[in-house]
Amino acid sequence: MSSMAVNKNDKSSPTLFTEPLTVFLDSASPSSYLPPHIIQPLIDVTQATPYDSSLYSVSCENENPDVPTFSGSVDFGFGNLTIRVPMQQLTWVGSGDLCVLGIGQTSNPHD
């Protein structure tokens, strides 16, 4: 992966990082894990809070608990290719009015 950015309410945020990062893509896994220095800007932009030891949560809409109140997307860059993933596809229902963010923090800060 070469970059990651967040689009919030149709406004693009600054790119969160632009350093090459080796990643393993697994469409069957419900979560993706990134090093702390990469996930922290995403947590800040989405105002996510700790959910468990490695995952974070964001608020969900009260009327529709499957929809995070943070509308927008996360853009993953792979060279000249950008994959835009809507926030609704990056979250699942947690407890109460929380949506679990499907991007977590690795336990090793050097991963």
d(CA 53, CA 107): 9
For residue 43, give both structure tokens.
């947590």
d(CA 43, CA 20): 20
For residue 27, give both structure tokens.
């469409």
Q: Could you report the per-residue pLDDT of 49-88, keeping only the tens digit for each?
A: 888 878 888 877 655 655 666 678 888 899 899 998 888 8
Q: Could you report the per-residue pLDDT of 20-36, keeping only the tens digit for each?
A: 888 877 777 778 888 88
DSSP state of 27: T
